[in-house]
Structures are given as C-alpha cells and as structure tokens.
C-alpha cells in the first residue's frame, strides 16, 4: 500500500489530470505532473510540475525517483514511458494494457478476437483496401484514423467508396479503420475500476449524447432496461479482465435499434462521461483512480442521486463575448459548476462541465431524472455552450 503523504506521479496535464490531482490531494497525497506545457490545468494545481516531453530522460527519471506510483490521464502517453516507470515504482495502468487502446486497429482486433461484439470493420492501409465487395459492404460508414483521434477528430462520414477514398487521402493516407454506420437507439458508457488484487467495481451506466463527436450530455442512470444496463456492466468487467487492466477505464457502447449491444471504444483512464461521479457518487472516478494506484480497497460506487452532466465548451465564451454569466448555473441549488482553469477558450475546447442533481424528495426516480434533465437543458440554453443545436435527446426511456 502507498500511504497518504507519499508522492504520486501523473503523465499529462489536462483536466482529467487536474481532477485526479485534486482527489489525490484531498486524500493526503502529493502530486507531481509531467507535461510538456508551461501552463496546464493539472500543472496549476499539482504540488510539483515537471515540464518536458514524456520521453525526456531527465524529467522522467526525476518522476521515477521521487514518486511511489505513477498513472496517466490520457491514452496516448508513450508506452515506453510507462515501461520505464514500472521498473522504479508502481504504475497503473500497465503499458501493455494501454498499448491495445492507443491504436484503433489493435483495439478493434482485440475486441473481435476476444468475442466482444463490435460493428463490422475493415483495416485500411492503402487505397486498394477500399476496393471490392467487402469494403462496399461497409458503406455508408465512418473512416477513423487508427491513432490520435479523439472528440470526432480524425474521422469522416462516408456514403460511398469514392467518398471513402477521398476521405482517406484527406486524412493524410494514414492507417485507418472503416466501420459500418449502424442505426443507433442509444449510446452508453460504463466506468470500471480494477485493482491489483483483482477487486472490481463498476459505476452506474451513463446515457450519452454528442455534438460533432464531442460529448454534450450524460444522463445517469441510463434510461434503458435493467437487463441491458447489466449486460453493459458485465461486458465492461469482462473486457478489463481480458486486458489484465489495473486502473480505471471507460467502455463506450452502441445500442442498436434492435437492442443489440456493441462495444464502440475503450478509454484507459477516467472519462468525460464519468464526471458525474464527483457530485453524485459515494466515490468519484478520480478517487477510485487514486485508490487503485495506492493499492487500497476500492470505494463504494453507489449513486447518491440521479444526475445529468453537461459539457461546457469554448463556444460559451464566444457567445458571451467574454466570461459567461455563471449565474445561469450557480443560481440553481442542485447544480454544480466545474471549470478547468484553461486560459484560452476555443470553439470545441472542453472548458468545464456542470451537473444537475435530481431532487431526492420526488417520489418517482424517472420524474426526478426528467426534472434534472429539463433544468440542465434550460441552463445550457442560457450558456449556449455549442455552436449549433445539440443532438436531440429523447424524452422517454428505451423500452
């Protein structure tokens, strides 16, 4: 066990790292952040900030020498950095587990080969891979770069093979995955934690809505049948075991119109759709990340209250012509505002989020969740955190 008072290392300086650092500090740990930027959300709250590339020898050795354990806040940290640190301190998650999720080709192949249901896909490394009947069966579809794509970046919707070839060229001729576009009834996610001793906990299932590939709204608990939610959680636990994963990860799912459940993506870290856990659960996903790394028992993941989370993007600043009017959030007694300390607001940049907790005095869980959703959307309309109208959110549960 790594006891409070010790230093924990963090690779990455973004908002996920910021929330990890705050959770760790509240438990008595010191946090050292390694990040290339001179100013970062995590670096601004950490006890120590080492500025340098993740493969730079000096800061990496300094982190290894001064920290009892190390983790990461994003999936694209070099696996070799994690392997180096693992020779000197506890590391969670392990490099081999992260490596699978860093590359869509490796990830999709891992899922398929281990029996997890995924959308039909094809690896595209050349224009020749976009010829023939097998490729034709995957359009309309989505072409996704194999590495470094996130929040809708590095993706293109294609309706024909001609469009797919043009998109592949526009994406720089990088290795890609062409995935069949399927009719969706819902998108879900499950955050799961797995300790070094094999202990596993899952958080309540989130129901997610996106705008231009960026998460907009999460509703918890997901308004889906109990059996479907249980299936999602079981798949997430099984996936973590197959990866031999030790840490916190998120599994994103598609629910098709015929109610089949498919695995979409794996994020080897806390996830945007799990931010609700800070305000609505006994243990947040970030405290859980600390607990796994420190080797202490996992925390209770029970939900205090139904909750709705909304992302705040840079568009809110652009709409306001400066700092938004936060009274839209703060005037509501069951709303919680979280800002990430980023100095520059840009379109599509995640600047913060807010949650609206349901009223526990309302008799019906469904009614209380509906009211929380309505209030969250009213706040969103005032802040206007999106450039365009958001994806339509159904008013009823999935039967």
- Strands 48-51, 307-313: pairing is unpaired
Same domain, 201 and 240: yes
Burial category of 398 from C-beta neighbours within 10 Å (exposed 0-12, middle 13-18, buried 19 and up): middle
Rounded distance between C-alpha atoms, residue 3 and residue 320, angstroms: 45
| CA trace torsion 195, 101, 188, 125 (10° rounding) | -170
Rounded distance between C-alpha atoms, residue 193 and residue 285, angstroms: 8
Check residue 201 and give its pLDDT: 98
pLDDT, tens digit, for every residue of 123-173? Answer: 999 999 999 999 999 999 999 999 876 655 788 999 999 999 999 999 999
The stretch 99-122 carries a mean pLDDT of 95
Check residue 147 and give its pLDDT: 84
Same domain, 273 and 206: yes
Share of the chain above pLDDT 90, in %: 87
Same domain, 189 and 176: no
Same domain, 219 and 309: yes
Q: How many domains does the chain have?
A: 3
Instruction: For residue 64, tell me if it sits in a domain.
Output: yes
Integer angstrom CA distances of residue 169 from 141, 181, 222: 16, 20, 39
Between the two ends of the chain, the Cα-to-Cα distance in Å is 45
Check residue 359 and give its pLDDT: 84
Q: What is the CATH number of the domain that holds 241?
A: 3.30.470.20
Rounded distance between C-alpha atoms, residue 230 and residue 204, angstroms: 10
CB atoms within 10 A of CB 261: 19
Check residue 105 and give its pLDDT: 94
Burial category of 237 from C-beta neighbours within 10 Å (exposed 0-12, middle 13-18, buried 19 and up): middle
Instruction: For residue 61, tell me if it sits in a domain.
Output: yes
Same domain, 16 and 79: yes
Same domain, 321 and 200: yes
Write phi, then psi, for 39 (nearest 5 degrees).
-135, 125
pLDDT, tens digit, for every residue of 324-382? Answer: 999 999 999 999 999 999 999 999 999 999 999 998 766 667 688 999 999 999 999 99
Same domain, 27 and 155: no
Provide CB contacts within 8 A for 163, sequence distance 6+.
Answer: 139, 156
Instruction: For residue 321, tell me if it sits in a domain.
Output: yes
* 3-state SS, residue 374: helix
Degrees to nearest 5, angle at CA 303 with 349 and 94: 60
The stretch 79-87 carries a mean pLDDT of 94
* Residue 64's pLDDT band (cuts 50, 70, 90): very high
Same domain, 240 and 282: yes
Provide CB contacts within 8 A for 245, sequence distance 6+.
Answer: 93, 94, 97, 194, 239, 268
pLDDT, tens digit, for every residue of 215-257? Answer: 999 999 999 999 999 999 999 999 999 999 999 999 999 999 9
Tokens of 133: 């009947």
Instruction: For residue 337, tell me if it sits in a domain.
Output: yes
Domain span at 142:
120-180
Rounded distance between C-alpha atoms, residue 148 and residue 143, angstroms: 14
Enumerate the H helices of the chain as residue ranges: 15-26, 57-66, 79-86, 95-101, 104-113, 133-136, 161-170, 226-242, 277-280, 285-294, 315-320, 327-330, 365-383
Check residue 339 and give its pLDDT: 98
Check residue 389 and give its pLDDT: 62
Instruction: For residue 395, tell me if it sits in a domain.
Output: no
DSSP string, 246-264: -EEEEEEEEEETT--EEEE
Same domain, 130 and 226: no
* Residue 387's pLDDT band (cuts 50, 70, 90): low
Flag whether the pTM goes above 0.85. Answer: yes
Check residue 75 and give its pLDDT: 85
Q: What is the CATH number of the domain that holds 144?
A: 3.30.1490.20
* 3-state SS, residue 396: coil
Instruction: For residue 389, tell me if it sits in a domain.
Output: no
Rounded distance between C-alpha atoms, residue 216 and residue 311, angstroms: 5
Same domain, 17 and 150: no
pLDDT, tens digit, for every residue of 218-228? Answer: 999 999 999 99
Check residue 48 and give its pLDDT: 97
Instruction: For residue 391, tell me if it sits in a domain.
Output: no
Same domain, 153 and 41: no
Q: Are the beta carbons of 99 and 77 closer than 8 angstroms?
A: no
Q: Are the beta carbons of 369 and 306 closer than 8 angstroms?
A: yes
Same domain, 85 and 148: no
* 3-state SS, residue 376: helix
pLDDT, tens digit, for every residue of 269-315? Answer: 999 999 999 999 999 999 999 999 999 999 999 999 999 999 999 99
Instruction: For residue 356, tell me if it sits in a domain.
Output: yes
Q: How many helices (H) and strands (E) does the chain have?
A: 13, 18
């Amino acid at each position: 066990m790594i006891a409070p008072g010790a230093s924990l290392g963090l690779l990455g300086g973004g908002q996920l790292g910021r929330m990890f650092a705050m959770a760790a500090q509240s438990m008595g740990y010191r946090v050292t952040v390694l990040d290339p930027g001179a100013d970062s959300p995590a670096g601004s709250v950490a006890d120590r900030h080492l500025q340098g590339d993740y493969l730079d020898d000096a800061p990496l050795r300094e982190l290894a020498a001064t920290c009892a354990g190390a983790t990461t806040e994003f999936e694209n940290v070099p696996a070799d950095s994690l392997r180096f640190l693992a020779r000197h301190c506890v590391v969670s998650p392990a490099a081999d587990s992260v490596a699978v999720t860093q590359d869509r080709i490796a990830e999709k192949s891992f899922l398929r080969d281990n029996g997890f249901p995924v959308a039909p896909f094809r690896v595209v490394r050349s224009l020749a891979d976009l010829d023939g009947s097998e490729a034709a069966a995957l359009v309309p579809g989505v072409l996704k770069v194999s590495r470094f794509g996130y929040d809708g970046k590095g993706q293109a919707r294609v309706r024909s093979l001609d469009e797919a070839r043009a998109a592949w060229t526009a994406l720089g001729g990088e290795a890609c995955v062409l995935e069949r576009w399927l009719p969706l009834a819902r998108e879900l996610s499950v955050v799961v934690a797995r300790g070094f001793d094999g202990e596993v906990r899952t958080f309540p299932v989130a129901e997610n809505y996106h705008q231009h590939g960026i998460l907009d709204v999460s509703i918890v608990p997901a308004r889906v049948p109990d059996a479907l939610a249980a299936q999602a959680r079981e798949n997430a636990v099984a996936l973590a075991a197959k990866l031999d994963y030790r840490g916190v990860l998120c599994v994103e799912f598609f629910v098709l119109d015929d109610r089949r459940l498919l695995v979409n993506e794996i994020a080897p870290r806390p996830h945007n759709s799990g931010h609700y856990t800070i305000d609505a659960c006994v243990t947040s996903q970030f405290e859980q990340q600390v607990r796994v790394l420190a080797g202490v028992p996992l925390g209770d993941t029970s939900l205090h209250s139904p909750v709705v989370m909304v992302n705040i993007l840079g568009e809110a600043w652009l709409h306001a012509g400066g700092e938004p009017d936060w009274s839209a959030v703060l005037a509501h007694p069951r709303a919680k505002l979280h800002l990430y300390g980023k100095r520059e607001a840009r379109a599509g940049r995640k600047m913060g989020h807010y949650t609206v907790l349901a009223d526990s005095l309302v008799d019906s869980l469904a009614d209380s969740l509906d009211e929380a959703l309505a209030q969250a959307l009213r706040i969103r309309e005032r802040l206007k955190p999106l450039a365009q109208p958001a994806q339509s959110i159904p008013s009823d549960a999935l039967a």
